[in-house]
Structures are given as C-alpha cells and as structure tokens.
Amino acid sequence: MSHPRPYPVRYVVLGAGAVGGVVGGLLAVAGHEVALLARGDHLAAIRRDGLQVQTPGAVHQLKLDAAVDPAELGLRDGDVVLLAVKGNDTEAALQSVTRTGVRGLTVVCLQNGVANERLALRYFADVYGICVMLPATHLEPGVVRADCAPVPGILDIGRIPSGLDDRAARISADLRSAGFVSELREHIMPWKYCKLLVNLGNGIRAVCVPAERVEELVAEARAEAAAVLDAAGIAYVSEAEDRRRRGDILQLKGSRSGSSSWQSLERGTGSIETDYLNGEIVQLARQLGRPAPLNERTQRWATRFAAERRPPGTLTVEEWLS
C-alpha cells in the first residue's frame, strides 16, 4: 500500500452529537476543515455560539459551518462524510446525502452496530467502517465532552467490505493528528461485531436501577448473542483480543453519566438505537430459528422507555424480568 496523498479533505460530520461532535471538533482543533450537520436546539446553539468541545484538559469553542441538511451545507466532490447518527437514523441520513447528487463522496460509518455499513453500500461505493471506542457525552445543546485523557478514543478503520487503501490511511492519519489512536484494519467488521457484543448491555443499564443483578443480565445477554453469532458463522474478535487492544489507552477522567443509550433517554429524544444493537441479534436469531429472549426483552424495554420518554435508571430488575 502506498502512502496517503497530501490532498485537502473536508470532513462533514453528519450527526454532531457526542461521538460526532468530539471527533469533528478535535479534527478542527488539529487544523482540518470540518463542517457539521445537526438539528434542533443543538444546531441552533452551534450556529449561535459555536460547538463547545470539552476535554479533561481544555475547552474549545469552535465556529464551524453547520446546517440541518447536506443540501443546505453544500457538499463537494471529495468530501469525507463522517456518519455519526444512531443506527435508527442511518437510512434517512444516507438518503439526505444521496439527494444532493454529489459524486465522489467517501462515507465513513463512525457508529456502533453492524447494519450501517451494509446500508451505506446501497448508496455509495467508497464506504469505510470505524470501530468506535470513544467515551463521550452530549446532554446540553451546543456542548460535547470527551471523557478520556490524554487519548480521547480509539478509532480503528477499514474499508468495507474489506481491504486497505490510501483513503483509509489518510483518514487514520488525520485522526491520529487530532489525538486519537487509530490503526488500519484489513477486516474491520470482526472488530465491530465484538463492539456490538460490548454494547448489548447499554439498553439494560439505560432502563434499570443499578444493581449487581443488572450486570449478570448484561453478561447473559452477551453470551446469548455470542451463541447466535457462532451459529450464524459470523466472525468476531475475542474479548481477550479486545482487552489487549484497549489496554490502558482509555483513561476516564471524572465520572461519566452513561452510555449513548442512557443519554438518549436522559435527553428525552423519543428514540433509542437498541433496535440496531440488541435488535441485530434478535433479527439474526429469528432468521436462524433460534430464541434470543434476553436481547428481545432488552429491545422492547428500551424502545418503550424511549417512546414514553421515561427517565433512565428507573426500572427494577424484577420489573424488567416480569
């Protein structure tokens, strides 16, 4: 593989929430051209005051181009679209980009879950996946926070469905320039399936009152999901290899409110990405004719909490099991 060419790249962050806002903001701090796509009060705050990116060591107030729709922003040939919306918003986001008619776009799935890349390939030829290990918080309009230091996150990248190229190398290099740890992965999806297993506890922890039994349910849901992936012949990186990759790189500073699913409930958005986390396992299990009751229960409770705008962490384990 040759070295990445030094051509200018604009990063367009589609979904400038916790992860998208932190990544886009720190890319901008490192000197890269960045534009943001957001909505509602968050977009209004960004347009008025700029995006505030908080890190354990600094606060950056960034005045960046921001819009609600890609057509309004004005996409350009050669832009790199960092897709950072929740899985339940992915298809609508991709369609909004497609409607601009701009060719030559690169789409990078900066997301949890494993369905986004498949959807992106329906609309675009140059698609990349990033395995996101980035504790971040977004609870207030116009403000995002990186919760780890000195490294804010691990963002390994690979081409979809597989392979390495100059474009992946360039994006990885730019992420490293912004302070992230990033390696090239010829096969990124096994890493993303491993991260999917990690994220299966988000929905349980988001709705339940913290208790020892909650963590037991999380472990059982992950074991149930791993058995489904094994039955389907889907490769995923082992828990031991995942621990080795993380090492002591991600060092939390202070207390973190909760996962992205918890934050969705706390903000009262009315939606949650559990359908594309635990729901991915439920769908696969049904295709195989297998049961996946713990992941199905997680999906149903999280969806109900989001629809009813119930506050996080208010369901007892007994209620969850009833």
Q: List, for residues 203-241, the tens digit of each pLDDT value.
A: 999 999 999 999 999 999 999 999 999 999 999 999 999
The total domain count for the chain is 2
187, 206, 230 - which closes a domain: 187
* 5 lies in some domain: no
Whether residue 307 lies inside any domain: the answer is yes
Among residues 155, 170, 187, the one where a domain terminates is 187
**DSSP state letter for 87:** G
236 shares a domain with 148: no
Q: Which H helix or E strand runs over 52?
A: strand 51-55
Q: Which residue numbers in the chain have pLDDT < 50? A: 1-6
pLDDT, position 205: 97
For the chain, the 3-state helix, strand and coil shares in percent, each to the nearest 5, are 45, 20, 35
Whether residues 178 and 196 share a domain: the answer is no
Q: Output the domain CATH number for residue 303.
A: 1.10.1040.10
> Roughly what angle, to the nearest 10 degrees, separates helices 239-246 and 189-199?
90
Q: Do 102 and 163 share a domain, yes or no?
A: yes
Q: Tell whether 261 and 296 lie within a shared domain.
A: yes
255 in the same domain as 176:
no
Residue 7 is predicted with a pLDDT of: 53
Backbone angles phi, psi at 77, to 5 degrees: -55, 130
Residue 131 CA to residue 195 CA, distance in Å, equals: 7
Q: Is 221 found in the same domain as 155?
A: no
| pTM greater than the 0.85 cutoff | yes
Residue that is last in its domain, among 187, 202, 228 = 187
**Residue at 3 is within a domain:** no
52: CATH: 3.40.50.720
Residues 75 and 183 in one domain: yes
Q: Which domain holds residue 250?
A: 192-321
Q: Domain for residue 19, yes or no?
A: yes
Given this model, what pLDDT does residue 254 score? 76
129 plus 243 within the same structural domain: no
Q: How far apart are CA 141 and CA 73, in angstroms?
A: 20
pLDDT at 271: 95
Closest to 130 in 3D by CA, of 154, 147, 146, 102: 154
Mark whether 140 and 262 lie in a shared domain: no
Give yes or no: residues 27 and 144 share one domain: yes
